[in-house]
Structure 1
Amino acid sequence: MTLTETKEEPRTATSWLREHSELGVCVLLLALGVLVLTDALTMDVDIAQRGPVGPKTVPVVVGIGLLAVAVLLAVDVLRGGRGQAEAGEDIDLSEPADWRTVLLLAGVFLATAVLIEPLGFPIAGALLFWGAAYALGSRHTTRDPLIAAGLSLITFVLFNNLLGVPLPGGPLMGVL
């Protein structure tokens, strides 16, 4: 063997899987497509259908689309295609994760889930919007709660009154 020649490492199953890691996404898409199709085709629909498009149409199309994308992606990966590496945009990948922000956001979402029934959406939603703004770094003590309350009330009125999606009103239900 000369100095310019290099000894190739033996190919193992682990190295092959590492080189074709995008196949994991294919498996996920395939499983999701099967789940969506199974759920759509076993859907019990009682309403009379008026035309070719019924309540099963969109889920079936989405499920078939997921299966098609899974197969096409798998073929591309097996032919040597690779996903483009993430450039990181303006993120410094050498910095550690900001776990304080992540934990604050998780706490705000958990508190909203617990408080939405007793307090209603307008109050719990305002706490959610204000808490998320605080967790993400905003420190305007007068402006943020006012914006959060306004967003929450607008969201409640839009969903509850205009779209017909009932949200829990809590103690404010008689007022709104």
Structure 2
Amino acid sequence: MTDDSTPPRPATARSWLREHSELGVCVLLLVLGVLVLTDALTMNVDITQRGPVGPRTVPLVVGTGLLAVAVLLAVDVLRGGRGEAEAGEDVDLDAPADLRTVALLTGVFLAFAALIGPLGFPVSGALLFWGSAYALGSRHLDRDPLIAAGLSLLTYFVFDNLLGVPLPGGPLMGVL
């Protein structure tokens, strides 16, 4: 005689974590809240402050808010609450990640960080904009570098000249 009513298998740790993946956001919020509060409480403040609101007020409120949201979200997730799926996008959640695109974008950002000092923002920014467009699927090899160069120069001049935020110009800025 066979018994078809086998008891359900207990959930493994991996499946439990997959079902409660929002707890990762809770941990991130908790760490950020502790970091902000630690920074606010160890801040050197001049004692001759005028008025009730000092430089510690906003970081203390933000840090406390981060901790409160982390705890409330964790309680909700552990009680079975789940975030609602994005209704506006047609995304196949079972499809694997596009690791090639992620690797290309990571390489482009690392190259930008390494090249901004020696080459300056206009050149490294153009490489960043063009490399990002290429990594995300654009294959207009005649148009994309020109747009990237124009966008990089425009960004450089807006930040450096109009906003007063100095960006490294590199060797080409001595020529222009």
Aligned ranges for residues 1-176 of structure 1 at < 5 Å? Answer: 9=8, 14=13, 18=17, 20-45=20-45, 53-85=53-85, 89-175=89-175
CA distance in 2 between partners of 1:91 and 1:16 (Å): 22
Q: Which letter maps to 1:81?
A: G
Percent identity over paired residues? 77
Q: How far is 1:170 from its partner?
A: 0.6
CA distance in 1 between partners of 2:10 and 2:98 (Å): 38
Q: Which letter maps to 1:137?
A: G
Q: How far is 1:35 from its partner?
A: 0.8
CA distance in 2 between partners of 1:99 and 1:14 (Å): 25
Q: How far is 1:171 from its partner?
A: 0.9
Q: Any unmatched runs of 5+ in structure 2?
A: none
Q: How far is 1:118 from its partner?
A: 0.6
Kindly tell me: are residues 115 and 24 of structure 1, through their superposed partners in 2, closer, same or farther at Cα, counting changes over 3 Å? closer
**Greater shift after overlay, 166-175 or 87-96?**
87-96
CA distance in 2 between partners of 1:84 and 1:14 (Å): 23
Equivalences, count: 173
SS of corresponding position for 1:139: coil
CA distance in 2 between partners of 1:109 and 1:96 (Å): 23
CA distance in 1 between partners of 2:59 and 2:27 (Å): 19
CA distance in 2 between partners of 1:28 and 1:88 (Å): 26
Q: How far is 1:42 from its partner?
A: 1.5
**What's the Cα RMSD here?**
3.3
CA distance in 2 between partners of 1:66 and 1:157 (Å): 37
Q: How far is 1:12 from its partner?
A: 7.8
CA distance in 2 between partners of 1:55 and 1:103 (Å): 41
CA distance in 2 between partners of 1:104 and 1:55 (Å): 41
**Greater shift after overlay, 80-89 or 116-125?**
80-89
SS of corresponding position for 1:44: coil
Kindly tell me: are residues 116 and 43 of structure 1, through their superposed partners in 2, closer, same or farther at Cα, counting changes over 3 Å? same
CA distance in 2 between partners of 1:49 and 1:145 (Å): 53
